[in-house]
Amino acid sequence: MLDPTMIAGVDEVGRGPLAGPVVSAAVILDPGNPIDGLADSKKLTARQRERLYDEIRCKALCWALGRAEVVEIDKLNILQASLLSMQRAVHGLTLSPLKVLVDGNRCPDLDYEMECIVKGDSKVPAISAASILAKVTRDREMVQMAVEFPGYGFDKHKGYPTALHREQLARLGVTRHHRRSFKPVSDLLQNDQ
Protein backbone atom coordinates (compact mmCIF):
# COMPACT_ATOMS: atom_id res chain seq x y z
CA MET A 1 0.00 0.00 0.00
CA LEU A 2 1.24 3.48 -0.89
CA ASP A 3 2.16 5.96 1.80
CA PRO A 4 -0.97 8.18 1.94
CA THR A 5 1.18 11.22 2.62
CA MET A 6 2.62 10.97 -0.86
CA ILE A 7 -0.56 10.79 -2.93
CA ALA A 8 -1.45 13.94 -4.84
CA GLY A 9 -4.99 14.76 -5.88
CA VAL A 10 -5.45 16.87 -9.02
CA ASP A 11 -8.47 18.66 -10.46
CA GLU A 12 -9.21 21.55 -12.79
CA VAL A 13 -11.98 24.10 -13.20
CA GLY A 14 -12.96 26.24 -16.12
CA ARG A 15 -13.33 23.90 -19.08
CA GLY A 16 -16.79 25.12 -20.02
CA PRO A 17 -16.64 28.92 -19.76
CA LEU A 18 -16.42 31.32 -22.69
CA ALA A 19 -13.89 33.47 -20.83
CA GLY A 20 -10.99 33.16 -18.42
CA PRO A 21 -8.26 30.60 -17.81
CA VAL A 22 -8.42 26.94 -16.89
CA VAL A 23 -7.08 26.64 -13.33
CA SER A 24 -5.85 23.40 -11.77
CA ALA A 25 -4.63 22.45 -8.34
CA ALA A 26 -2.58 19.58 -6.97
CA VAL A 27 -2.78 18.76 -3.26
CA ILE A 28 -1.00 16.31 -0.98
CA LEU A 29 -3.01 16.11 2.23
CA ASP A 30 -1.57 15.38 5.66
CA PRO A 31 -3.31 12.27 7.10
CA GLY A 32 -2.27 13.43 10.57
CA ASN A 33 -4.07 16.74 10.14
CA PRO A 34 -7.48 15.90 8.62
CA ILE A 35 -9.84 18.46 7.11
CA ASP A 36 -13.56 18.01 7.75
CA GLY A 37 -16.09 18.81 5.04
CA LEU A 38 -14.03 18.11 1.91
CA ALA A 39 -16.34 17.47 -1.04
CA ASP A 40 -16.72 18.21 -4.73
CA SER A 41 -16.40 22.02 -4.92
CA LYS A 42 -19.59 22.23 -7.01
CA LYS A 43 -21.58 20.72 -4.12
CA LEU A 44 -20.37 23.27 -1.57
CA THR A 45 -21.58 26.80 -0.98
CA ALA A 46 -19.24 29.69 -1.76
CA ARG A 47 -18.85 30.28 1.99
CA GLN A 48 -17.92 26.61 2.61
CA ARG A 49 -15.40 26.70 -0.24
CA GLU A 50 -13.78 29.88 1.10
CA ARG A 51 -13.43 28.38 4.60
CA LEU A 52 -12.01 25.12 3.24
CA TYR A 53 -9.68 27.00 0.89
CA ASP A 54 -7.88 28.58 3.84
CA GLU A 55 -7.85 25.34 5.82
CA ILE A 56 -6.45 23.31 2.91
CA ARG A 57 -3.67 25.84 2.33
CA CYS A 58 -2.76 25.68 6.04
CA LYS A 59 -3.07 21.95 6.69
CA ALA A 60 -1.99 20.24 3.45
CA LEU A 61 1.57 18.91 3.27
CA CYS A 62 1.86 20.83 0.03
CA TRP A 63 -0.27 22.26 -2.74
CA ALA A 64 0.28 24.06 -6.02
CA LEU A 65 -1.76 25.77 -8.72
CA GLY A 66 -1.39 25.48 -12.47
CA ARG A 67 -3.17 27.27 -15.26
CA ALA A 68 -3.61 27.59 -18.98
CA GLU A 69 -4.38 31.03 -20.31
CA VAL A 70 -6.97 31.94 -22.94
CA VAL A 71 -4.35 32.13 -25.73
CA GLU A 72 -3.20 28.60 -24.85
CA ILE A 73 -6.79 27.33 -24.79
CA ASP A 74 -7.39 28.81 -28.25
CA LYS A 75 -4.11 27.44 -29.60
CA LEU A 76 -4.21 23.93 -28.12
CA ASN A 77 -7.95 23.23 -27.56
CA ILE A 78 -9.65 23.02 -24.19
CA LEU A 79 -8.76 19.39 -23.42
CA GLN A 80 -5.04 19.85 -24.08
CA ALA A 81 -5.01 23.17 -22.19
CA SER A 82 -6.71 21.49 -19.20
CA LEU A 83 -4.12 18.71 -19.21
CA LEU A 84 -1.34 21.32 -19.44
CA SER A 85 -2.72 23.22 -16.45
CA MET A 86 -2.87 20.00 -14.42
CA GLN A 87 0.69 19.15 -15.43
CA ARG A 88 1.83 22.60 -14.28
CA ALA A 89 0.07 22.16 -10.92
CA VAL A 90 1.80 18.82 -10.24
CA HIS A 91 5.17 20.23 -11.31
CA GLY A 92 4.63 23.05 -8.81
CA LEU A 93 4.44 20.72 -5.81
CA THR A 94 7.34 21.02 -3.38
CA LEU A 95 7.11 17.29 -2.57
CA SER A 96 7.27 14.52 -5.18
CA PRO A 97 4.19 12.32 -5.01
CA LEU A 98 4.44 8.55 -5.32
CA LYS A 99 1.12 8.55 -7.15
CA VAL A 100 -1.12 11.17 -8.74
CA LEU A 101 -4.91 10.76 -8.68
CA VAL A 102 -6.62 12.84 -11.35
CA ASP A 103 -10.29 13.74 -11.52
CA GLY A 104 -11.86 12.60 -14.78
CA ASN A 105 -10.94 10.15 -17.49
CA ARG A 106 -7.80 11.73 -18.95
CA CYS A 107 -4.44 12.11 -17.23
CA PRO A 108 -1.81 14.72 -18.06
CA ASP A 109 1.60 13.63 -19.33
CA LEU A 110 3.64 13.21 -16.14
CA ASP A 111 6.50 11.01 -14.96
CA TYR A 112 4.51 9.69 -12.01
CA GLU A 113 2.29 6.69 -11.43
CA MET A 114 -1.18 8.05 -12.20
CA GLU A 115 -4.78 7.01 -12.00
CA CYS A 116 -7.80 8.75 -13.48
CA ILE A 117 -10.89 8.62 -11.28
CA VAL A 118 -14.24 9.63 -12.78
CA LYS A 119 -16.07 11.81 -10.23
CA GLY A 120 -12.91 11.70 -8.14
CA ASP A 121 -13.72 15.12 -6.67
CA SER A 122 -16.54 13.46 -4.71
CA LYS A 123 -14.64 10.23 -3.91
CA VAL A 124 -11.05 11.16 -3.03
CA PRO A 125 -10.36 13.82 -0.35
CA ALA A 126 -7.13 15.04 -2.02
CA ILE A 127 -8.99 15.56 -5.32
CA SER A 128 -11.83 17.32 -3.44
CA ALA A 129 -9.23 19.63 -1.89
CA ALA A 130 -7.72 20.31 -5.31
CA SER A 131 -11.14 21.10 -6.78
CA ILE A 132 -11.78 23.60 -3.97
CA LEU A 133 -8.43 25.38 -4.38
CA ALA A 134 -8.86 25.58 -8.15
CA LYS A 135 -12.46 26.81 -8.00
CA VAL A 136 -11.90 29.48 -5.35
CA THR A 137 -8.79 30.73 -7.18
CA ARG A 138 -10.58 30.95 -10.53
CA ASP A 139 -13.75 32.48 -9.02
CA ARG A 140 -11.69 35.20 -7.34
CA GLU A 141 -10.03 36.00 -10.67
CA MET A 142 -13.39 36.26 -12.36
CA VAL A 143 -14.60 38.69 -9.67
CA GLN A 144 -11.52 40.84 -10.44
CA MET A 145 -12.29 40.55 -14.15
CA ALA A 146 -15.76 41.97 -13.43
CA VAL A 147 -14.09 45.07 -11.96
CA GLU A 148 -11.88 45.45 -15.03
CA PHE A 149 -14.75 44.79 -17.46
CA PRO A 150 -17.97 46.01 -15.83
CA GLY A 151 -21.23 45.08 -17.48
CA TYR A 152 -20.35 41.52 -18.43
CA GLY A 153 -21.35 40.00 -15.08
CA PHE A 154 -18.17 37.95 -14.70
CA ASP A 155 -18.63 38.02 -10.92
CA LYS A 156 -22.00 36.30 -11.35
CA HIS A 157 -21.51 33.73 -14.12
CA LYS A 158 -17.71 33.28 -13.80
CA GLY A 159 -17.40 33.23 -17.58
CA TYR A 160 -19.84 30.36 -18.17
CA PRO A 161 -22.23 30.71 -21.14
CA THR A 162 -25.30 31.84 -19.21
CA ALA A 163 -28.04 33.86 -20.88
CA LEU A 164 -26.71 37.00 -19.15
CA HIS A 165 -23.18 36.40 -20.39
CA ARG A 166 -24.29 35.71 -23.97
CA GLU A 167 -26.48 38.82 -23.97
CA GLN A 168 -23.72 41.07 -22.64
CA LEU A 169 -21.16 39.52 -24.98
CA ALA A 170 -23.39 40.32 -27.97
CA ARG A 171 -24.04 43.83 -26.65
CA LEU A 172 -20.56 44.82 -25.41
CA GLY A 173 -18.29 42.72 -27.61
CA VAL A 174 -15.39 40.35 -27.07
CA THR A 175 -12.75 41.10 -24.41
CA ARG A 176 -9.17 39.83 -24.35
CA HIS A 177 -10.34 37.30 -21.73
CA HIS A 178 -12.79 35.60 -24.10
CA ARG A 179 -11.88 32.31 -25.77
CA ARG A 180 -11.90 33.07 -29.47
CA SER A 181 -12.16 29.39 -30.45
CA PHE A 182 -15.42 28.93 -28.50
CA LYS A 183 -18.87 29.54 -29.95
CA PRO A 184 -20.57 32.05 -29.69
CA VAL A 185 -17.37 34.12 -29.32
CA SER A 186 -16.00 32.86 -32.66
CA ASP A 187 -19.35 33.61 -34.32
CA LEU A 188 -19.33 37.19 -33.04
CA LEU A 189 -15.79 37.70 -34.29
CA GLN A 190 -16.71 36.36 -37.73
CA ASN A 191 -19.74 38.65 -37.91
CA ASP A 192 -17.53 41.64 -37.06
CA GLN A 193 -15.28 41.02 -40.08
pLDDT in tens, the chain (193 residues): 455 568 999 999 999 999 999 999 999 999 999 999 999 999 999 999 999 999 999 999 999 999 999 999 999 999 999 999 999 999 999 999 999 999 999 999 999 999 999 999 999 999 999 999 999 999 999 999 999 999 999 999 999 999 999 999 999 999 999 999 999 999 988 876 5
All structural domains of the chain, each given as residue ranges with its CATH number in brackets, are 4-191 (3.30.420.10)
Say which amino acid occupies 8. Answer: A
Rounded Cα gap, residues 26 and 29, in angstroms: 10
pTM of the model: 0.95
Count H helices and E strands in the chain, helices first.
Answer: 7, 5
Burial of 4 (0-12, 13-18, 19+ CB in 10 A): middle
CA distance 53 to 74: 29
* Phi-psi map region of 112: left, alpha, beta (phi>0 left; psi -120 to 50 alpha): beta
Q: How far is CA 150 from CA 9, 125, 167, 168, 173, in A?
A: 35, 37, 14, 10, 12
**Treating both helix axes as pointing N-terminal to C-terminal, what angle do 46-59 and 125-148 enclose, rounded to 10 degrees?**
120
